[in-house]
A and B are shown apart, each in its own frame.
Chain A
Amino acid sequence: MIPSKEEFFNGLAAKHGLELQKKFEAASVAVCGAGGLGSNIAIALARAGVGRLKIIDFDKIEITNLNRQQYFADQIGLFKAQALKENLAKIAPYCEVTAEVAKITEENVALLLKGFPIVCEAFDKAEAKAMLVNAVLENMPETYLVSGSGMASLNSANLIKTRKITDKFYLCGDLTNDVAAGNGLFGARVLVCAAHQAHAVLRIIAGEFEA
């Protein structure tokens, strides 16, 4: 038996406080990429009671994703955006989730992110991260952007931090450990970065703008 929307809200408000919960419920966040960062960010935000999420990803789930990405073994082969929407529906049935199977480019970014004042960059490739960050900062100056860079390797999780780069741009990660340098991607360390990003989003929603 799934609790009612009101019961859900009250349960969350009991943990977060009523005023904050109203802000979370009124918030709309876009998550670009539904891999190790994005799937974990989305789940953290949905659990917090964020009202609307848009998940954008073009990729399908592979067996090598399961060390860190929030999918089930029987979802291998499905589109990540759609599978994540299904999983989110079980976790937070009253979160309005839009799943978009699409590759974000400089050309379509403004259209895909329209109506979402807070955006998480959760891609895996460095060039794609840079493209999205440049496109959002150049063309959508009112948008808050929370990006992740540097979460590979078995180095200390304490190296992962949230930094505020400009008024609207937050950067989480250790900034240096590149997966291409032969570093592995370890689920727990990727989760630390995703948690930094999700928490930065909640703080922005709450009106707490320090990193």
Chain B
Amino acid sequence: MTKVNGKTEAVTGLNIAEIVEKFGYNPARVAVELNGNIVPKAKYAETVAGENDVIEIVSFVGGG
């Protein structure tokens, strides 16, 4: 199963854009890593989560 932010999630077969939306993140505020590598923003729609993939979605919050 695919892991998202450390948890097993039923997202295998979905693309990154769909996964970001499924978890309710604002796409303008995220950086997504797939197996330790950044997923370029332009490739969210064509990058599909595989069976053993590990996805990390970093969602930024404001303040600095």
Tell me the smallest distance from the CB of A117 to a CB of chain B, in Å: 17
In the complex, the answer to whether A166 meets B62 with C-beta atoms within 8 Å is: no
Instruction: Give CA–CA (A36, B59) in the complex, Å.
Output: 20
Chain B 2-56 residues near chain A, CB threshold 8 A: 26, 28-31, 33, 36-38, 40-41, 56
Interface magnitude class on chain B: 10 to 19
Q: How would you classify the secondary structure of chain A's contact residues: helix, strand, loop or mixed?
A: mixed
Taking the complex as formed, is A190 at the interface, i.e. its CB lies under 8 A from any CB of chain B?
yes
Instruction: Give CA–CA (A108, B64) in the complex, Å.
Output: 22
Q: Which residues of chain A are near B36, meaning CB under 8 Å?
A: 166-167
| With A165-B58, A166-B37 as contacts: A133 and B64 at CB distance below 8 Å | no
Chain B residues in the interface with A (C-beta under 8 A): 26, 28-31, 33, 36-38, 40-41, 56, 58-64
Query: Can you add 11 more A-B contacts, CB < 8 Å, to A133-B60, A149-B60?
Result: A33-B64, A125-B62, A126-B29, A126-B59, A127-B60, A129-B64, A137-B38, A149-B61, A150-B63, A152-B63, A165-B58
16 A–B contacts from the bound complex (CB under 8 Å): A36-B63, A125-B62, A127-B60, A129-B60, A130-B30, A130-B31, A133-B58, A134-B40, A137-B31, A149-B60, A149-B61, A152-B61, A166-B33, A166-B38, A167-B36, A180-B62
